[in-house]
Structure 1
């Protein structure tokens, strides 16, 4: 009863004093929502850069620099100006190719295209089709290792054609604990973001489920220090990665000697 009276008194006190912006933040925001909308529209457009040349070097065509600069960020979503509207496109269509096994901008003398030159990379913002060249030099690593060193988790160990960004696996790992979102719903959301049709491909879902299981297994081994075991993961004994339950009797810990 005392709690209810205190709440009523607080409401009465607020009504008696002069109203401030903290009392009605939405009403204050409505007075400037035109500015918010205008800035959102500017972000969808060309903004302050309306020239056909790159705004950084001010000499090369903007398209050429766009492709070159995205060697560091191949999963950005790109739209191309047609003269009257923006049309969704991809960096692959604009000519971007990602060379694995070498430092960025370093030329490989024996590039090897992915199967059918059609590689799928799944990131937090959408599902991307990327042109990928594996390194086939004498000192090159396996295709799996080349992908992992880019932070891309391959779906298979032999001739991988699909990969998931490490950050996406970490994102879903935490999301599944906090929101209990299923893998199917998560994949379906990515498909919606990509084409807004919602027709999820069975192979994408099955590949994602497999990679999630592998990711969680590897994270468990890493957190328990088995990545530094001289004999490798095969030396892990039964129960070494189990988390002790504080409620279960443990002799010498929470169980008296008698």
Structure 2
């Protein structure tokens, strides 16, 4: 994507500048291609994006990746009852001030003024909120409640950095990760596809880039599986980015649970 396209896509993400991870990092829109050039949208922690900075005292990136479509659909379906009954197809996102994702919970802060008429009874709004979250509360001009996000996790492990992704989204994310690796290898004149440029090779400037370079150097059949969406189910970005990845191709296949394609 060029800058204009990325900016246009970001405008279609209603939680842009509103959603944060458990470490307080903003989760910014990110995009990837699936089969048939289908575009998948994500909210990704700042440290997992290019130029992202590591949290102080950390040596590895901390953060999460959320399926934007599924997260937005979940938030809308859970909170739509808080909106005034009138109005054409109202959406909740205009009332949301901040969303914080932590493990299996989405904590949402909403602007009360966007949910009720001036001088209307706040207790009625709070009663509706408590049907969603018994611990919902009003703080000054805000309504604060938490949503149990387990319902949309689709069995992902707690350690996974890719949350709320279904199978096509997960495969698209892996393919995009490989494409990113090859782009960075080429930028650094380190691409195995262009050995004539290796004498001009430069080193990566940050941890984010260093982690991803190795993916473009995996066994060819592994890379083909990532691009074609035929890698084993359950393989995620965290596994590919693991520092335990073997250097030899057969060890890589064993580590990722893949057989050598004939």
**Would the TM-score normalized by the shorter structure come out above 0.5?**
no
Q: Which has the higher contact order (CA 8 A, sep 6+)?
A: 2
TM-score, length basis structure 2: 0.28
TM-score, length basis structure 1: 0.28
Compare CA radii of gyration and give the structure with the larger one. 1
